[in-house]
Amino acid sequence: MSNTRGLEGVVATTSSVSSIIDDVLTYQGYQIDDLANYSSFEEVVYLLWNSKLPNKAELEEFSTNLIKNMTVPNEIFDYMKLYPIADVHPMAALRTAISQLGLYDHEANEVDADTAKRIALRLQAKIATIVTGFARIRNGKEPVEPKEGLSFAANFLYMLNGEEPKDTEIDAINKALVLHADHELNASTFTARVCVATLSDFYSGITSAIGALKGPLHGGANERVMAMLSEIGEVSNVDEYIQKMFDKKEKIMGFGHRVYKSGDPRAKHLRDMSYKLTNITGETKWYDISVAVEEKVTKEKGLPPNVDFYSASVYHSLGIDHDLFTPIFAVSRVSGWNAHILEQYADNRLIRPRAEYVGPNTQKYIPLNDRD
């Protein structure tokens, strides 16, 4: 059997959207640290789709267009009200709603470059409205319409909570969106590319990607990190709790990475935000427990935290329901999925690898009536 289980180390395509070289992450050649410190999410989305940072006029036009496209057809929310809501995870709701959204886009089946870019914009804009709309509907509230004049990050929080957010909250969500926007050929992005390489439509590609992101080995880890922190409860319990996980050979959510070996460059930004936000809320224990877990896992297993680890205490500090953590990841990552789908359409070839056959050798067929 070859040593390519999980396609580790396999280069499956070329891409100019983002790169991870020697543990440094760049979007279109721009370092993630600069983008996280100085960019709005809208700038990053523009960068990923246009291979250049926008000037002021371009950003203004792009941002206005994005917010204008946030409204979703009422049918999406009407249908959500029919979901068996108590049992529906928001990622499953999102997967269904994005697929349904395609039914209301009269250009959904077009794959030419201009139309594909318009669809990308609509998806980016509407995904925030869908995630927040579902979060409200399941609590018996009506969805909130997006507000022109607010940024994408501010609109997300506004549509979620029904009131205009504070600057610190907007900054935190904006930075989290920037940090999660793209990540080379991660599992969900690869899924999107495989799907649309059959020349299937944009909505199919994004629906497939949401399905892949949902899993706990990928985007679903952030929700599980918070479940772990809650179970630990106090800093004094960290050592015993994590040791038990080691002994049972259980994976510690939010640690390890297929590509990064010396650490995920996004984690430190989220760690800083976690410190800041937990000090604002006064619930510093979530940061303290996280740091104690990091110290033990790094020291004893040599595994550094990934993007999902500190994002958990960040979102918790913003008062966000824990099962919305992964949908927020999707709200950001759809920008990267869109960029990769545009890139795939622009120079498409069917993605069809081979499997090394390890089944039985040629067998003699025995008719049904003659089998034991």
Which residues does the annotation mark as catalytic? Answer: 257, 308
Question: Is the four-CA dihedral 29, 33, 39, 44 of positive or negative sign?
Answer: positive
Nearest to 27 by CA among 265, 269, 330: 265
Other Cβ atoms closer than 10 A to 78: 10
Non-local (6+) Cβ contacts of 1 within 8 A are 356, 358
Q: How far apart are the first and last CA of the chain?
A: 32
Complex with ligand ACO: residue 88 or 259, whichever CB lies closer: 259
Residue whose CB is less far from ligand ACO, 122 or 183: 183
Pairwise CA distance, residues 104 & 97, whole Å? 11
Supply the minimum distance, in Å, between the C-beta of residue 64 and ligand ACO: 31
Cβ-proximal residues to 267 (8 Å cutoff; 6+ apart), any chain = 304, 305, 306, 307, 309, 310
Angle (deg, nearest 10), helices 113-137 and 202-213: 50
Indicate the residue whose CB is closest to ligand ACO: 256
Helix 187-196 to helix 202-213 angle (10° resolution) is 150
Q: With respect to ligand ACO, which residue has the nearer C-beta, 72 or 178?
A: 178
Shortest distance in whole angstroms from residue 314 CB to ligand ACO: 14
DSSP structure string for 88-111: --HHHHHHHHHHHHGGG-TTTT--
Residue 95 CB, shortest distance to ligand ACO, in Å, is 17
Q: Which is nearer to ligand ACO, 75 or 250 (CB)?
A: 250
Q: Which is nearer to ligand ACO, 6 or 282 (CB)?
A: 6
Q: Rule CB under 6 A: which residues touch ligand ACO?
A: 6, 186, 217-219, 221, 251-258, 301, 303, 306-308
- Of residues 147 and 261, the one with the C-beta less far from ligand ACO: 261
**Minimum CB separation from ligand ACO for residue 260, in Å?**
9
Task: Pick between residue 28 and residue 306 the one whose CB is nearest to ligand ACO.
Answer: 306
DSSP collapsed to 3 states, 24-85: EEEECCEEHHHHHHHCCHHHHHHHHHHCCCCCHHHHHHHHHHHHHCCCCCHHHHHHHCCCCH
In degrees rounded to 5, what are phi and psi of residue 72?
-115, 155
Question: Smallest distance, Å, CB 318 to ligand ACO?
Answer: 19
In degrees and rounded to multiples of 5, residue 143 shows phi and psi of -60, 150
Q: Least CB distance from residue 63 to ligand ACO, whole Å?
A: 26
Rounded to whole angstroms, the Cα distance separating 26 from 184 reads: 9
Q: How far is the CB of 310 from ligand ACO (least distance, A)?
A: 12
